[in-house]
Structures are given as structure tokens and as C-alpha cells.
Structure 1
């Protein structure tokens, strides 16, 4: 993998597309962020459990669930893809507007984005991505803290801003506000014991 120093500067989606396929990066307003190495087994367990619980609930709806790696391009306006300076890969993203989907992934914000926190990316997910998702209109943003079994939920208000988050334990079930009728039933803590 290239050293982070080799990715200093301002980049666009055109640059991003030329980087080696075996490297995972995100661009936030032109700045390159290396994705952490292969996620932990617990991270993967959460993704698998969430996909198994969410995907069937979307049957018959226009909404679709995608798991990383899946490029989500977030243009500032109507610039051409090559000029887009923000490309992220949420762990999970639900899109209900299929016109945002294309052969490259998605162009435009998902309705619901989920990040499963890793120590090396938690600050970026909590601060930079939260601000980014708010600015681009991600209607609901979940941050899952697997070790602490906590969930932080941000929801856009009627003014297009995230208010104070809800912080919940990963017990019972949690309703998805932007997808009426969809909920996540949380696995018991011992479901992830090795």
C-alpha cells in the first residue's frame, strides 16, 4: 500500500479512479484518507448481521442496501464526475432514489448511512463524515460502537441540520426513522463471542 504521504494534496474522482484497485481510499473535499486495513472480525460480524436484518425488510420498496466497498460520489453542485472531490464508502448505505445509482456506484447522498466504528477511523466518522453527511442531506446517519455496544443516531431536522444525536444501547430493536416499518433487532452480546 502507498504511504499516506504519497497522497498529500488535493484530489478528484479522476485521480481516485487511477489509484491501484487493491488500495482503499476515501476523498473528503479533495483530501485523501486511507481506509484501515481489513476490518476486524467483530466489524464484519456487525455488517453481516445488519445486512441479514435490513435487506429483507426492503423487499417491495424502492430502497436498496449496499455494503462497502461501494463508491458514493458527493458532488458540490452539477460538476462532472471527474471533478468531484468527495468519494466515500460508508459501511452500509441505503438509497431510495434509484436515479442516484449508476455503474460506478452512486452519485448523491444515501437516505441512510451506517458506519461501524474502528479505532483508526472513529474521529473521521464522528467529525468529518458527520459534517459531510449533514451538508449533503443524508437523512439518517448511524454510528455503531461495537466494543461499547452503543449506537449514535443523527437525523436531519426540517431545516436540514443534524440536531443532538440519540445515543442508545444495542439492545432490543431500533426503528429507522427515515424508513417507516424498518427496524434493526440487535443480536445478543454473546452472539459475537469467539
Structure 2
């Protein structure tokens, strides 16, 4: 179940909210703050494995868990935000700025039990409208991955169908491989591992 705060007038007020960074994360859209559901075991396994796979297959991008992305009057926290290294702002001591104020290059969401699919889809579409190149929504109950790309029809991938990834991420995966990671004791790895 997700929690929501009373109506918040604007994004700046939301970003000042004292409970903003508690776990699970809070998101802001259309004047309302909503807390994401707490991840469960399957969600966490998929998130961990995807982070490792993307990072191990690209020097141009980094995969970051639960990074707050605040842009275009919305503040969202994708399960995984894949961002080109050259888009990360660096401070005067050579470290990344704490606040990321753009859409990620690739936004990956993993549906949790009781999470509203339309809210997740809305966030993915918002990302695409503001420069995101790719979105995934994993449904662990359906063993499917919904692929979002700018100006392209949605694509539902299941089984052995190869998943689209960003150019610059040298990773070949299928939905079957991704959901195979949920089988206890299964060392189902990407083909080149």
C-alpha cells in the first residue's frame, strides 16, 4: 500500500518536506506526494542483478538505485536510473552533485505488489517526454517487461525475446534470463558471462 501526504502546493514545498528521504522513497507529481511501496525480495533481487549487469556492460553509463530525479515539475525515484557519465554534474572537488535535475537516459521500474501500474507508466512516459531514451517496466508476476522508447509503440517482451537496451550498453538479455534470476540457486547469467 502506498501512502500519500495532504495536497502539497508546489515542487519546492515537496523538496523541503522533512520525511522526503525516508525509506521507501517519496515521489511528487501533480501537486501530490506519494510514497512508493517497500520493495520485496523478488524486487530487490531483480534490482540488484540489473544494476550489476548494466554496470558490467558499459563504460559510458552508470546504473544507480533509487536516485531522485527532479525535473519538469516532478520528482521521481526510479528503481534504477541509468545515466551517461558525461551527464552527471561534477562539483568543485570533482565529485558528483547530489541533486540530479534531469530525466535519466534509461529508467527501469520493477512493479511491487499493490503498486499502481498506471502511476509507474505515467512516470516512465514523463521521463520519455523529457529526454529519456528508454524505459522498462518489469512485472515479476507476469514475467513480462514493457519497453518504452520515444516515438515508438510499446513492446511487451516475454520469454526468449531480446530486450532493447541503450546504445553504448553492450548487454544482451531476454525476459526469460531476467526472471530466471528469481529461481533460487539458478545461476542464469547473461549469455556472455
Distance in 2 (alpha carbons) for counterparts of 1:143 and 1:188? 13
Distance in 1 (alpha carbons) for counterparts of 2:108 and 2:42? 15
1:1-194 to 2 correspondences below 5 Å? 4=4, 6-20=5-19, 21-22=21-22, 24-36=25-37, 38-58=38-58, 61-68=59-66, 70-74=67-71, 76=72, 85-96=73-84, 98-101=86-89, 102-118=96-112, 119-126=114-121, 128-156=122-150, 161=151, 163-171=152-160, 173-179=162-168, 181-184=170-173, 186-187=177-178, 189=180, 191-193=182-184
Q: Which runs of 5+ in 1 are unaligned?
A: 77-84
TM-score, length basis structure 2: 0.76
Query: SS state of the match for residue 113, structure 1?
Result: strand
Alignment CA distance shift 1:134-1:191 (3 Å): closer
Distance in 2 (alpha carbons) for counterparts of 1:11 and 1:179? 37
Q: Which runs of 5+ in 2 are unaligned?
A: 90-95, 186-193
Query: How far has the Cα of 1:134 moved from its partner?
Result: 2.2
More strand by share: 1
Alignment CA distance shift 1:47-1:172 (3 Å): same
8 Å Cα contact 1:72/1:89 also seen in 2: yes
TM-score, length basis structure 1: 0.76
Q: How many residues align?
A: 173
More helix by share: 1
Query: How far has the Cα of 1:187 moved from its partner?
Result: 4.2
